[in-house]
Amino acid sequence: MKSIGEIIRELREQKSLLLRQVAAEIEIDQALLSKIERNERMPTKDQVKRFAKFFGKDENELLVSFFSDKLVYEVRDEEVALKAMQVAEKKINYIIKSKNGKS
Amino acid sequence: MKSIGEIIRELREQKSLLLRQVAAEIEIDQALLSKIERNERMPTKDQVKRFAKFFGKDENELLVSFFSDKLVYEVRDEEVALKAMQVAEKKINYIIKSKNGKS
DNA sequence: ATTTGACTTGACAATTAATGTCCAAAAATA
DNA sequence: TATTTTTGGACATTAATTGTCAAGTCAAAT
């Protein structure tokens, strides 16, 4: 249940790399990477893909962390957060069904 | 499983009101209301509250529709949409637990 | 104690995304 | 066809997010 930032930091530490080294690879400012790792800034989708590639991690796995963080962020301090999330899930399910199984 | 826009349109039609009449009450441009009803624009949270009050609907009920729409929108055409939503729900649950039951 | 290297912080700039407005065009209604 | 309602689209405005830079903190090493 880790945030995208925590995951990235762990991956970096596992490889004993410095912020500036990873930042250079991903082509972002090291201050920005620092903020991303501490969840002070969200990376972009494209950056997440680059992290996945660089660290040899499954892209979709990281994208799930990334998007779930964004979703949580959207309703973080709303009273109806959980309910909204549950309804959203149903809506997504419905959309997916319409897309595929027409029958 | 209706969108916030559809709900608002239905409420307006049930009362046989014109766009301009409701728009005036809510204090928004009627073109904007038209767009909101057709999901071409999202209302703001505050506008949703005003709709609820004006139509005599439960505020939280409308807010759930509103936020769930926003959540869906965030991941609408992502492959990992459903998975991300499920993980987000778990994260929300976790956050709620931390907030309350400290045990 | 000073220097060095890694990381963090904060103010600000730049970019991107969303909402809001106006007016003309379309559609519906009388 | 005249009138009224609704919609479309371009543009303005505002808000939110990401990105940058320079200075600051902290710890380890010397």
* Span A22-76, pLDDT tens digits: 999 999 999 999 999 999 999 999 999 999 999 999 999 999 999 999 999 999 9
Confidence of residue A100 (pLDDT cuts 50, 70, 90): confident
Contacts of B77 in chain A (CB under 8 A): none
Look at A30-44, B36-50, B88-102 and tell me which has the smallest mean pLDDT.
Answer: B88-102
Confidence of residue B102 (pLDDT cuts 50, 70, 90): low
Percent of chain B with pLDDT over 70: 97
Residue A74: predicted pLDDT: 97
Note the CA–C1' distance, B36 to D15, in angstroms. 19
Note the CA–C1' distance, B38 to C25, in angstroms. 18
Residue A99: predicted pLDDT: 84
Answer yes or no: is A10 CB < 7 A from strand D: no
- Is the dihedral angle over the CA atoms A89, A91, A94, A95 positive or is it negative? negative
Residue A102: predicted pLDDT: 52
Contacts of B60 in chain A (CB under 8 A): 79-80, 83
